[in-house]
Amino acid sequence: MSKRNYLTKLPRSLHSANFVLHNNYKAYMEAQKSKNPICWVDVNFPSFLLWAMDVTTIFPQMHSAFQAQRKSVKKMMHELESKHEIPHTICGEVKGLIGCAIYHDNSAFHIPDPDFLVTANTSCNIVSKGFRYTAQYFQKDLLFADFPFSYGEVTKEMIDYSTAQVFDVIHDVERRTGRKLTYEKAFEWTENIMILFRIWEDICKINTSKPAPVDALDLYLFSSIMVTVPSHEKVVQLFINLYNELKAQEKANLKVDANEKFRILWHFLPIYSEKKYFQKMFDQNHISVASASFFPNPADWFEAWEYEFTYPLTMDQVDGARKKLRDSGDLGGNLEELVRIVVEGLLKMDVNTSINQKEQTLRTLIESFDIDGVVMHADRSCRTQTLPMHELKNRLSADLNMPVLLFDSDSMDERFFAPSQITTRFEAFVEMLNMKKSQ
């Protein structure tokens, strides 16, 4: 079994990421102390618009995901079900969110209580219900944005409606905080997020190299930082450093597995608490996780701005990209246009799209990253995304003549992880990969 080179675990960037997260949690406590408005927000709402109003945003779903990585949610889940009578059939993500409110055992950083909460029903109403329950617990207001599901094209009517929904939330926040969302501030924060996405694209693209320089699942932490930590300069610098660290590895020919035999795509969420288990199985079989469905869709790889980043990436280059974005006018000329553009992007997000669009995204990733097989995680904690997986599996394996493994587990709740069952399925999948390769 090959042992992973320590450097392919991105030690420098990981250290920086932990530092950024630590400071983020510190900022929560400072906000509580200074009585800055604190909002618990759903990951599906464009929170950078709240950052533009200097509202402190906390993402309880992400907080519980970090706890799950530390394997410290088991007790919480058990107590929620037994003491607080939360049904065990509710998904782990929602239990994690409720647990952030009602369960405390000092195993994770404390997060302050909210002054108000914001949720959106992108693809799943259960999370919104979880936010409603949590809001009732705190006796605080819940602001709700209703986004229509996209079965195909995103129409003007959908954008009109969703824009109005976002503005309803924004105006409510303005009223309760006394702070106005200006176009300039909204532009600045939206621009920051766009820059991060641009760098993120190039980071993920590095893994088209063979063998892969990085395990795609090791990049998941950074994708969640992008969405949940206000994208100030330190976060942009983190992504610049990540890009440079990966590029340096690529140039030094450092690979996850120099004897890479198979490249797989991981579909949907990782299992937060079982990273080591999967790494061991991948290493034993010389498998690189070259891509994942949380990677940007290669079909959308940025042609906007036509700005090429080069190694080593510097803040000057990023500022150049920023200037080009501003000059392009792609973020609209006023607040309404900007929000419409943001909303259109939201409606096109994978979680809000139909099986046909998901299939296209996966096909594009499979082709771009030269994938040999797909592993699909049917996540108990996200049934709406799991629902189309059987059909997706059948389409991909039939059309592409490719082994596709579908197994069920839970990204959040470690009690639903069954190693011996998963091992049997995984080993059969590897045997299928080997057979396919020998033909």
Nearest distance, CB of residue 380 and other proteins, angstroms: 12
Q: Is 432 in the site for other proteins (CB under 8 A)?
A: yes
Residue 337 has φ and ψ, to the nearest 5°, of -65, -40
Q: Is 418 in the site for other proteins (CB under 8 A)?
A: yes
Where do we find the tokens 């090429």?
Answer: 308
Q: What is the CA radius of gyration of the chain?
A: 21
Q: Is 261 in the site for other proteins (CB under 8 A)?
A: no
Q: Which of 161/416 has CB closer to other proteins?
A: 416
Q: Is 334 in the site for other proteins (CB under 8 A)?
A: no
Q: Which of 135/392 has CB closer to other proteins?
A: 392
CA distances from 195 to 3, 108, 187, 232, 389 (A): 35, 31, 12, 11, 32
In the window 173-212, what residues touch other proteins (CB under 8 A)?
none
Nearest distance, CB of residue 284 and other proteins, angstroms: 12
For other proteins, which stretch binds (CB under 8 A), given 17-25, 216-224, 253-261, 418-426?
418-426
Q: 394, 411, 412, 413: which one contacts other proteins (CB under 8 A)? A: 394
Q: 252, 258, 304, 398: which one contacts other proteins (CB under 8 A)? A: 398
Q: Is 164 in the site for other proteins (CB under 8 A)?
A: no
Please count the other Cβ atoms lying within 10 Å of the Cβ belonging to residue 89.
Answer: 8
Q: Which of 197/416 has CB closer to other proteins?
A: 416
Q: Is 349 in the site for other proteins (CB under 8 A)?
A: no
CA distances from 41 to 32, 59, 131, 221, 283 (A): 16, 5, 9, 19, 38
Rounded-to-integer distance, Cα 126 and Cα 95, Å: 10
Q: Is 421 in the site for other proteins (CB under 8 A)?
A: yes
Nearest to 260 by CA among 433, 9, 7, 439: 433
Nearest distance, CB of residue 151 and other proteins, angstroms: 23
Of all residues in the chain, what percent are helix, strand and coil, respectively (each to 5)?
A: 60, 10, 30
Q: Which of 164/428 has CB closer to other proteins?
A: 428
Structure tokens at 178: 């006394």
Nearest distance, CB of residue 421 and other proteins, angstroms: 5
Strand partners, 39: 57, 116
Nearest distance, CB of residue 381 and other proteins, angstroms: 17
Q: Is 425 in the site for other proteins (CB under 8 A)?
A: yes
Calculated CA dihedral for residues 209, 289, 382, 114, nearest 10 degrees:
-70
Rounded-to-integer distance, Cα 99 and Cα 179, Å: 30
Helices (H), 211-368: 220-228, 233-251, 275-284, 315-328, 335-347, 355-368
Nearest to 346 by CA among 131, 119, 46, 41: 46
For other proteins, which stretch binds (CB under 8 A), given 249-257, 288-296, 331-339, 390-398?
390-398
Nearest distance, CB of residue 431 and other proteins, angstroms: 5
Q: Is 431 in the site for other proteins (CB under 8 A)?
A: yes
Nearest distance, CB of residue 373 and other proteins, angstroms: 12
Calculated CA dihedral for residues 128, 134, 139, 143, nearest 10 degrees:
-20
For other proteins, which stretch binds (CB under 8 A), given 205-213, 281-289, 292-300, 424-432?
424-432
For other proteins, which stretch binds (CB under 8 A), given 38-46, 145-153, 362-370, 396-404?
396-404
Q: Is 390 in the site for other proteins (CB under 8 A)?
A: yes
Nearest distance, CB of residue 387 and other proteins, angstroms: 13
Contacting positions for other proteins (CB under 8 A): 390, 394, 397-398, 404, 418, 420-421, 424-425, 427-428, 431-432, 435
